[in-house]
Every structure is written in structure tokens, then in C-alpha cells.
Amino acid sequence: MTDIASARATTSAAIKRVGHITPSSNTALEPLTYAMNRTLDGQLAHHFTRISVTHLALSDSSDAQFQTERFVAAARLLAEAPLDAIVWNGTSASWRGLENDLSLCEAIMQETGIPASTSTIAFYKAFRENNWTRIGLALPYTEDVSQQIVTEYTRQGLRVTGSASLGLRENVDIGAARPDAIRQVLRGAAVGQPDCIAVVCTNFNATELVEEMEAELGIPIVDSIAVTFLEACRLAGIDARIPGWGRLLAGAEMIMQTK
């Protein structure tokens, strides 16, 4: 083996790999995950597969999109590659209940032997680790889904200080939300002066606005795509402290200094 080939083999072996299960209609999380990962090139790689998710509602047709068997089948495909972790990069358990994601992770681990987590689990970890109990919700969803998220957060021992949403049902419409509309939702979520603002949806690109809006509002913003990225890093054993994407990814010290 040449020196160059040997170096490439060593580098490849050292890279950690995370598989992501993503909603089929999502156009935001993949490019943003790659963008956040640029400082970790050569250390961490992300690989994606999709399940069909087109709309978000309190209905049987919406619930059918999130059946465990569909996730396990997707995880099985991902696990044909050498992976260190698998994440469900979606927030459905925010209204369907945390138990759904906990049982989902157990099913994926039993099927593949690979550690698993989800966006919703990552949110609750961030709240707990930073002692954030008063949450403002910035959402793209319809009023009934938004209210169900409030109910679920309350059931988990959190206090929702306020909720602002765009009233959207179709995921392609959520992905097309304009930056100014997202800014207004973030401002609405900040009205009750929460400990943090949770942006719940991995197709709702508040991710690129986090630093700007944290500076304007003076409140930490926990963005779905960013918090899932952080969870993926942790599962893979990567200590990710990445500037340019807000306080959460910049590290715990910066969060504490701004309180």
C-alpha cells in the first residue's frame, strides 16, 4: 500500500458516521447539517435515508406516517453501512408523545445494534442540561398541532410561556417559509420572556437565523436541526463546539455566560 493510500485508509477508519432518518418532503435539514459539519470534516460524516412524510396534523393519515415499522425498515437500510449512531431527524413525538420516540429508539437498537436517538429526545436533553423549564414555542404548524405540543411539554414538566405559529399543514409549505415570517414567529415566542425558545420542526429554517435572533431577543434559541446535529455528534463521540450557529452549538460556557 502506498503512503497516500495508507493515509486515506487511516483517515477513513477514524471518521465517525451517523445515519439520519428524514421526512421525505424535507428540504432543510440535509444541507444545513452538512453546513454545520464543515468544521468537523474528516471527523464526522452524515448519511441520510427517507420515510414518506408529507403533512403534519392530528389525524389518522398523519399518524400512519410515523409507525415504528417504517422507521425500523429505514434504519435497517442505513445499518448496511458502518455507522456509529442513527437519529430520527424529525419532531413528531413533540405532539405524539415522548414515549413514541423512546420505544422507537429501543426498536432501532434491537434491530441494528446501533445507538439511536431523535430530535425530540435531543430537545429534552438540552432543556434538562441547561435548567430551562420555561419554554417559548416557535412553530410552523396548525393551531391544533401547536396546542398538542403545549400539552405534551406541560406533561413533561415544562411551562410553555407562549406559542407562535404559521398555521401550516403541508411540509413543503413549511420548507418554503420565508425568513421574515420565521423571524416574526420567533419574536412571538419571545413575548413571555422564556428561558429559551424551541423551534420545533426540522424543515423550518430558523437555523440560519439563530445568531441574529438571539442577539435581537437576548434569549437562547434551541433549533430542531441544530439540536439534532448536536445529539448526533454526542452519540458518535464527537465534542462539537461550533461557532456561527448560536449559543447551543457554541458550547455550554457561552450559554451560561449569557444568562
pLDDT at residue 13, rounded to an integer: 59
Whether the Cβ atoms of residue 207 and residue 89 lie closer than 8 Å to each other: no
Strands 159-168 and 16-23: unpaired
The helix (H) or strand (E) run that includes residue 136 is strand 134-141
Distance of CA 164 to the CA centre of its chain: 19
> CA-based Rg of the chain, rounded to a whole angstrom?
18
pLDDT at residue 27, rounded to an integer: 95
Whether the Cβ atoms of residue 135 and residue 160 lie closer than 8 Å to each other: yes
C-alpha 134/C-alpha 162 separation (Å) is: 9
Q: For residue 63, what pLDDT band results from cuts at 50, 70 and 90?
A: confident
pLDDT at 2 over 60: no
pLDDT at residue 9, rounded to an integer: 37
pLDDT at residue 56, rounded to an integer: 82
Whether the Cβ atoms of residue 189 and residue 162 lie closer than 8 Å to each other: yes
Architecture of domain 132-223+253-257: 3-Layer(aba) Sandwich (3.40)
Phi, psi of 234 (to 5 degrees): -65, -45
What mean pLDDT comes out for the span 226-250? 95
What mean pLDDT comes out for the span 149-172? 96
Whether the Cβ atoms of residue 24 and residue 53 lie closer than 8 Å to each other: yes
Domains 3-121+225-241 and 132-223+253-257 share a fold: yes
Mean pLDDT of the chain: 91
- Looking at residue 2, its amino acid is T
pLDDT at 6 over 70: no
Length of the chain equals 259
What mean pLDDT comes out for the span 252-256? 40
C-alpha 202/C-alpha 223 separation (Å) is: 8
The yes/no answer on whether domain 3-121+225-241 falls in CATH 3.40.50.11540 is no
C-alpha 44/C-alpha 41 separation (Å) is: 6
What is the CB-side half-sphere exposure of residue 21 using CA atoms within 13 A? Answer: 32
Give Cβ neighbours of residue 143 (< 8 Å, ≥ 6 apart): 165, 167
- Looking at residue 134, its amino acid is R
pLDDT at 66 over 90: no
Longest alpha-carbon distance in the chain: 63
pLDDT at 11 over 70: no
pTM, two decimals, is 0.90
Domain segments of the chain as ranges: 3-121+225-241, 132-223+253-257
